[in-house]
C-alpha cells in the first residue's frame, strides 16, 4: 500500500531551499546590523576624542569625556567579543580597570579642589607640587 503524502517532493525541496535562503538572509542581516553598530560606535568614539582634545576648561568635564570614551571602548569590545564568540570575561577585567581609572580621577579631582578651591585648568600652576 502506497502512502499518500500531503506535499510533493518538489514542494518540500522548494520549501527547504526557501528556508535555507531566508536563514542565509537573516545571517547576512545580522552581520550587517553588527557592522553598522560597530561603525556607529567607532564614529561616536572619534567624536568623543575630538571633544576631549578640543576644550579643557574644567577637570570634571574632562573626566566625564574620558569616561564616555572608555564606555564606548567597552561597548565596542563587548560587541567584538560577541562577534567572534570569544570569552566574555575579558570585558569584566576591562570594566574593572575602567572603574579603577574613574575612582583615581575623582580622587585627584577632590584633592585638587581641596588645595586650589576650584577645578579650572587655568588656576593650576606647573611649578607647584
pLDDT tens, 88-99? 788 888 889 999
Domain spanning 10-123, CATH class: mainly alpha
The answer to whether the predicted template modeling score (pTM) of the entire model surpasses 0.85 is: no
With b for 16 or more beta-carbon neighbours within 10 A and e for fewer, the 103-120 pattern comes to: eebeeebeebeeeeeebe
Q: Per residue in 38-83, pLDDT tens?
A: 888 889 889 988 988 887 788 888 889 999 999 998 988 888 888 7
- Give the Cα separation of 122 and 58 in Å (integer): 9
Helix (H, G, I), strand (E, B) or coil at 124: coil
- Written as nine digits, the cell of 15 is 520549501
Amino acid at each position: 500500500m502506497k502512502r499518500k503524502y500531503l506535499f510533493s517532493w518538489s514542494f518540500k525541496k522548494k520549501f527547504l531551499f526557501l528556508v535555507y535562503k531566508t536563514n542565509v538572509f537573516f545571517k547576512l542581516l545580522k552581520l550587517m546590523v553588527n557592522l553598522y553598530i560597530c561603525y556607529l560606535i567607532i564614529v561616536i568614539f572619534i567624536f568623543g576624542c575630538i571633544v576631549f582634545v578640543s576644550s579643557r576648561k574644567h577637570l570634571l568635564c574632562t573626566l566625564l569625556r574620558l569616561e564616555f570614551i572608555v564606555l564606548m571602548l567597552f561597548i565596542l569590545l563587548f560587541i567584538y567579543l560577541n562577534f567572534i564568540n570569544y570569552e566574555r570575561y575579558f570585558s569584566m577585567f576591562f570594566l574593572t580597570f575602567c572603574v579603577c581609572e574613574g575612582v583615581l580621577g575623582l580622587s585627584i579631582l577632590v584633592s585638587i579642589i581641596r588645595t586650589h578651591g576650584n577645578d579650572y585648568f587655568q588656576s593650576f600652576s606647573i611649578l607647584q607640587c
